[in-house]
């Protein structure tokens, strides 16, 4: 996957000092583990580097989003081992005024399908009523 960029000044606040970031991000990912083992997180100058083994391409994508949607992280370097993706996925950046309903209307064509987006991002979105501008979400092609 390589490098994915995020908005550094927004997101879930997990750490105060960058030295705390690897441990706090690891704890965050492991508490809602999307299917990754041997996770190692390194952070330097707002860049998180992830390594370990993901059970699927979906687990890889969710792990990257969980790290990247953290306040203080502006990009993620993906060094995770994972099986190749079997389907296309796109990423949607939440805009001001968005809700999951509006995102579903824009991306799927039916706002009532917002739960599908929530389920595809369950580890990334803890509360479906609390998404924030700049947050990145997965929109799998198979929704």
DSSP calls for 17-74: SGGGHHHHHHHHHHHT--SEEEEEEEEETTEEEEEEEESSHHHHHHHHHHHHTBTT--
pLDDT digits (tens, 9 = 90+) for 71-115: 999 999 999 999 988 888 899 999 999 999 999 999 999 999 999
Domain 2-81 belongs in CATH node 3.30.1340: yes
The class that CATH gives domain 89-140 is alpha beta
Q: Band of the pLDDT at 126, cuts 50, 70, 90?
A: confident
* One fold for 2-81 and 89-140: no
0.95 exceeded by pTM = no
| Domain residue extents for the chain | 2-81, 89-140
Q: Band of the pLDDT at 63, cuts 50, 70, 90?
A: very high
């Amino acid at each position: 996957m390589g490098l994915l960029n995020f908005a550094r000044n927004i997101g879930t606040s997990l750490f105060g000092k960058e030295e705390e970031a690897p441990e706090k991000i690891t704890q965050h990912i492991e508490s809602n583990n999307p299917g990754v083992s041997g996770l190692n997180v390194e952070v330097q100058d707002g860049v998180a580097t992830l390594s370990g083994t993901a059970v699927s391409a979906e687990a890889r994508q969710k792990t990257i989003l969980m790290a990247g949607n953290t306040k203080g992280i502006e990009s993620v370097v993906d060094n995770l081992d994972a099986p190749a993706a079997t389907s296309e996925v796109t990423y949607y950046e939440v805009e001001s005024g968005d809700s999951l309903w509006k995102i579903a209307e824009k991306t799927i064509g039916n706002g009532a399908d917002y739960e599908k987006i929530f389920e595809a991002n369950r580890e990334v979105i803890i509360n479906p009523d609390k998404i924030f501008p700049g947050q990145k979400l997965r929109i799998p092609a198979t929704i």
